[in-house]
Structures are given as C-alpha cells and as structure tokens.
C-alpha cells in the first residue's frame, strides 16, 4: 500500500491502517503509561509466583514446585550449563533465569486478554535489557582476563596472524562489542513490534471489512480471511514470544561463555 492509495482511503474517510502511532498509548495517569504498569506488574507476578513455588521446596516436589523446577532447571541446565560449562555457570543462573522469565512474561502480556500489549514493543525496554547483558558479559570478561587481556581476547581470534589481523581486529571488535547488544535489543523489539502490528492489522482490517465497509462478497470474504489470519498469527505469536525470550537468554549465556572462556 503506497502513500497515494493511503491518502485516497483517508480522504474517503475509510480504513486507517495501524502504524507506530498505535503503540504510543496515552498515559493512564500523570506520566505513567501502560507498559510502565505492565513491566512493574510482571516483576510482582514473576516473583510472587516463583516465590510461592520455591518457598517450601522439598526433596519430593509438589505440583507447584514441580512446575517451577521445570522452568528453573530448563534455564539452569539446558541454557546456562550447556553454554557456560559446569565450572562457572552457577554464578549466572540467577541472571539468566530472571532474564528469561522477565522477557517471557512481558512478551505474553501481548496475548493476555485486556492487557494485550507486549512490553518490549517499546524499544526502550529492550535497550535496557541489552545494556545490562552487555555490561554483564563485558564485565565478566574484564574480571576474568583483565582489561587489556579481555581486549585481546575479544579482538584477536586464535590462529590468525600477520596482515589478516588488520582486517580481523576491527571486525571482531565491531561484532563483539557494538553489534551484539544492538542485535540483541532489536531482535526482541522488532519481533514484538511487528507481531503486535500484524495482529492489530488483521483485527482492525477484518472488523472494518465486515462491519463498516460496503457489504460486498469480496469485502466479506476478505473480512473472514482477516479474522482467520488473526487467529493463525496469534498462534504463531505464542511461539515467537517464547522463542524470543529463549533466544535472548541463550545469546546472553553464549556471550558470557565467550567472555569467560580461556580461548576462542
């Protein structure tokens, strides 16, 4: 849909396609916006739930504890230990576990009725997490190798020498220090933003075609198609929301693993 047709539709008082403006929600009160409330709520929700699950942790788990351990051991064993190795991984389990839950719950806010807004479709929240992960893996690297040692660790891959270094060193620094946090943040933000935008588009478009546009066979067909697509995309989003939480956590674990490793 190009600007010309958009202008025509607007001029006719027809359908207004959703855009970034739909993500700029008005404050609920004072300066407090919906994502602010949601992200605060997520912390209380996650902590409340997992504290209840782990408070009376016993050798033989009950139903709640079993569910909690399922998530915890997933992050602890298949993400942290697999990536970082059994020597150092325990130090990073709290961070990775919190990160996974934090991203997961805030993503699924996009699917919970009435809430229906993924917090990370506001890029600021994704940037915040990326900055923390960046500080973590670089900090760990400096703590492990010393500032200069870590710089060498990051910039010079093993087994590269001579003139190739001129090419490799800037690339490595760019890739490891600059690109990583940016992709980390943008991947999460863009997925949540695009997914939510698609859902708005199919929901509003279907509604418009079925109830507001002229009643023609084509419009009705398109409207039903849009509603069907809404459900299909919703199902896809359920998967994407989990995957993004998992990927963010896994990549952070791998960056940490790279920083603590003895060699590349």
Comparison of 39 and 260: residue with beta carbon closer to another protein:
39
Give the Cα separation of 167 and 43 in Å (integer): 44
248: closest CA among 193, 188, 192? Answer: 188
CB of 102 to another protein, least distance (A): 5
- The yes or no reply on residue 93 touching another protein (CB under 8 A) is yes
- Give the end-to-end CA distance of the chain in Å, rounded to a whole number: 47
198: closest CA among 172, 174, 229, 221? Answer: 229
What is the rounded radius of gyration, in angstroms, for the C-alpha atoms of the chain?
23
260 contacts 140 by C-beta, under 8 angstroms = yes
Residues binding another protein: what is the number (CB under 8 A)?
51
Give the Cα separation of 45 and 192 in Å (integer): 20
- The yes or no reply on residue 139 touching another protein (CB under 8 A) is no
Q: Which of 34, 54, 144, 219 binds another protein (CB under 8 A)?
A: 54
- The yes or no reply on residue 42 touching another protein (CB under 8 A) is yes
- The yes or no reply on residue 21 touching another protein (CB under 8 A) is yes
Query: Tokens 């996974």 label which residue?
Result: 100
- The yes or no reply on residue 260 touching another protein (CB under 8 A) is no
* Binding stretches for another protein (CB under 8 A): 19-21, 23-24, 31, 35-36, 39-40, 42-43, 46-47, 50-51, 53-55, 57-59, 61, 65, 68-69, 72, 76, 93-95, 97-99, 101-102, 119, 121-129, 131-132, 186, 189, 193
């Amino acid at each position: 849909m190009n600007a010309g047709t958009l202008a025509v539709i607007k001029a006719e008082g027809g359908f207004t396609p959703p855009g970034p403006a739909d993500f700029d929600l008005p404050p609920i009160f004072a300066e407090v916006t919906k994502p602010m409330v949601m992200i605060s709520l997520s912390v209380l929700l996650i902590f409340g739930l997992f504290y209840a699950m782990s408070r009376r942790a016993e050798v033989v788990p009950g139903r709640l504890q079993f569910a909690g351990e399922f998530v915890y051991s997933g992050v602890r064993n298949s993400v942290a230990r697999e990536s970082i190795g059994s020597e150092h991984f325990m130090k990073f389990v709290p961070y990775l576990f919190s990160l996974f839950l934090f991203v997961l719950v805030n993503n699924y806010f996009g699917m919970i009725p009435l809430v229906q807004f993924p917090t990370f479709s506001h890029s600021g929240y994704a940037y915040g997490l990326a900055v923390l992960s960046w500080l973590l893996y670089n900090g760990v690297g400096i703590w492990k190798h010393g500032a200069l040692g870590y710089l060498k660790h990051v910039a010079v891959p093993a087994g590269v020498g001579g003139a190739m270094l001129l090419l490799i060193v800037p690339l490595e620094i760019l890739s490891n220090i600059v690109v990583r946090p940016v992709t980390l943040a943008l991947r999460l933000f863009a997925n949540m933003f695009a997914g939510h935008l698609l859902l708005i588009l199919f929901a509003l478009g279907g509604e418009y075609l079925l109830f507001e546009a002229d009643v023609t066979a084509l419009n009705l067909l398109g409207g039903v198609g849009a509603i069907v697509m809404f459900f299909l995309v919703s199902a896809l989003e359920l998967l994407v929301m989990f995957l993004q939480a998992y990927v963010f956590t896994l990549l952070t674990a791998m960056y940490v693993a790279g920083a603590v490793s003895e060699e590349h």
